[in-house]
Amino acid sequence: MDGCADLEIPGVVFAGLRDAHVHLGLVDAHALFAGGLAVVHDLGSPPSVLEPFADAAVRVGLPEVSFAGQFLTAPGGYPTDRSWAAAGSVCVVDGPQEAASAVDAQIRAGASFVKVMLNSVAGPVFVDATLDALVGAAHAVGLPVVAHAEGQGQAARAFESGVDRLAHTPWTERLPDELLAAMASSMRWISTLDIHGRGSEFDVATDNLRRFRAGGGVVTYGTDQGNGPQPVGLNPRELDALLDAGLDRAAVLESITIPWPSGTSTRLAWTPGTPPADERHWAAWLASTRNLDPGQIKEQFG
């Protein structure tokens, strides 16, 4: 671009930032973009909400969206009885014979991955045969599977069935080291530590995440935006929690920045000022990142 070499941008320019767990039926996509997110992954919303995002066109003022489509759950399973689960946002899968059509419905709606619900605290969960059939059907067409694992043994079941990502760091039980080491070789965890506030569940999750990371596990920044009160956009408390769980600053940046320039997006983000030395201030500083419109750089900084 002519004249770019003469521009001085006061601050740090990053690849665009991503939240890998949001619900666009419960939080405004424009507000997420205004809050600094270039890319979001929707992990459960009704088709009516997702339809406008089903093609990959880049839209001014909106994050790029990839989505799971509907929550896939067992009959009577979570979140069928939840008031926040909008009509059409849940797809009940009653046995392995229904797995392929359930996955196919998400693909036809434009899904990039599917989400299976394994919440034994809130209701019935899939039997192994159904879970295996769902994972198999998704993998057969190249789609990763994300699981909500909650309750005794559910994270282990997700791993054993071949689930690729956990929507949340496991928080309902302390997972054994051997299981974490095995998970670290094939799974990616989405952090969502801040949804627990600070207390015993937060502590269990942080301990699991620390040991998963120590075994080489990949952690992706995600907040579950739309679930409970939290800052819309980048959440400094989530960034703080990742630092507390043992990620250094480079690892936190790796967890939140999109691959660039080789990935799907060439979006850029800009954080004003100099990175503070103190970790607490660093998280707040990073959370002040905003999207940088390449077409407006000269106007903004020239």
Tell me which residues touch Zn ion (CB under 5 A): 43, 224
Residue 129 Cβ vs Zn ion, minimum distance, rounded to whole Å? 26
Beta bridge partners of 270: 13, 290
Read out DSSP for 44-112? S--HHHHGGGSS----TTS-EEEE--SEEE-TT-TTTT-TTS-TT-EEE--SGGGHHHHHHHHHHHT-S
Closer to Zn ion by CB, 14 or 221: give it.
221
Closer to Zn ion by CB, 223 or 271: give it.
223
Alpha-carbon distance of 257 to 251, in angstroms, equals 10
Residue nearest to Zn ion (CB): 224
Closer to Zn ion by CB, 40 or 245: give it.
40
Residue 224 Cβ vs Zn ion, minimum distance, rounded to whole Å? 4
Closer to Zn ion by CB, 148 or 267: give it.
148
Closer to Zn ion by CB, 19 or 224: give it.
224
Residue 44 Cβ vs Zn ion, minimum distance, rounded to whole Å? 6
Residue 222 Cβ vs Zn ion, minimum distance, rounded to whole Å? 9
Taking each helix axis from N to C terminus, what angle separates 249-256 and 279-286, rounded to the nearest 10 degrees? 20
Residue 23 Cβ vs Zn ion, minimum distance, rounded to whole Å? 6
CB 11 within 8 A of CB 53: no
Q: Which of 210, 284, 212 is nearest to 248 (CA)?
A: 210
Closer to Zn ion by CB, 21 or 290: give it.
21
Residue 268 Cβ vs Zn ion, minimum distance, rounded to whole Å? 27
Closer to Zn ion by CB, 21 or 267: give it.
21
CB 201 within 8 A of CB 232: no
Alpha-carbon distance of 85 to 83, in angstroms, equals 6
Number of Cβ atoms within 10 Å of the Cβ of 83: 6
* Residue 83: partners with Cβ closer than 8 Å, 6 or more residues away: none
